[in-house]
Chain A
Amino acid sequence: AQSVTQLGSHVSVSEGALVLLRCNYSSSVPPYLFWYVQYPNQGLQLLLKYTSAATLVKGINGFEAEFKKSETSFHLTKPSAHMSDAAEYFCAVSDVAGANSKLTFGKGITLSVRP
């Protein structure tokens, strides 16, 4: 079974600082990987996804993530944090062999941005 591990439940950075949110996956084959963001009282919005093309994936709002098969990781980064980035971030994996869209999510990381 596939799984996703997001270490830590809360990350706090200063405005303008680097954002690094970690995600490690467990899968017998390289899966499809996604990062979603959730703002308070809202649903999830896709930031970016990896579907076996380029290993460095650029997403919306200046975020990017790099797929590293040797480390089974898909960490999310942003060079300079903005106050509006404060939200909860979820890493998710889907099964490449399945004819469905089922996502398995990590526990999520709450990002706080200090002025």
Chain B
Amino acid sequence: KAGVTQTPRYLIKTRGQQVTLSCSPISGHRSVSWYQQTPGQGLQFLFEYFSETQRNKGNFPGRFSGRQFSNSRSEMNVSTLELGDSALYLCASSYVAEPYNEQFFGPGTRLTVL
């Protein structure tokens, strides 16, 4: 079974631009979560989608948004990029959106904002 895939793996943008990151979950998984990882703040939850509905949202500004498609693939978008948005963005999938479920993580997209 293929794992979680994220595209692109690396991305360089400049301040003020917007970016879209993509995540394909493991086949059959319907829950997709996004996390931001930085050296200073560590791993922080962005949002979670299940069956195309946002189930939970972290404490991030409205510039961060996401969506999930009917095939469970998910995208996250960051508008008006700031230097502080430079981070590794990790996507995780699980079969259902339950707290006891194991989440399977992708390799991440490393975003650099110049």
Report A's interface with B, CB cutoff 8 A: 31-32, 34, 36, 41-46, 49, 51, 90, 92, 94-96, 98-108
Q: Which of B42, B97, B108 contacts A101 (CB 8 A)?
A: B97
Q: Which residue of B lies closest to A97 (CB)?
A: B99
Q: Is the CB of A95 within 8 A of B90?
A: no
Q: Is the CB of A103 within 8 A of B100?
A: no
Contact string, B39-63, partner A, CB cutoff 8 A, digits 1/0?
Answer: 0001111001010000110100000
What total of A-B pairs shows CB separation below 8 Å? 74
- By the criterion of a CB under 8 Å from any partner CB, how many residues of chain B are at the interface? 28
User: In the complex, which residues of chain A have a beta carbon less than 8 angstroms from the beta carbon of B56?
Assistant: 98, 100, 102
Known: A41-B107, A100-B55, A102-B33. A32 touches B100 (CB 8 A): yes
- Interface set, chain B 73-114, CB cutoff 8 A to A: 90, 92, 94, 97-108
User: In the complex, which residues of chain A have a beta carbon less than 8 angstroms from the beta carbon of B4?
Assistant: 43
User: In the complex, which residues of chain A have a beta carbon less than 8 angstroms from the beta carbon of B107?
Assistant: 41-43
23 contacts between A and B (CB under 8 A): A31-B99, A32-B99, A42-B108, A43-B90, A43-B107, A44-B90, A45-B105, A46-B102, A92-B43, A94-B99, A96-B100, A100-B56, A100-B97, A101-B31, A101-B33, A101-B98, A101-B99, A101-B101, A102-B45, A102-B48, A103-B103, A104-B45, A105-B35
What is the CB-to-nearest-CB distance from B15 to chain A, in angstroms, rounded to a whole number?
Answer: 25
Q: Which of A43, A46, A51, A108 contacts B108 (CB 8 A)?
A: A43
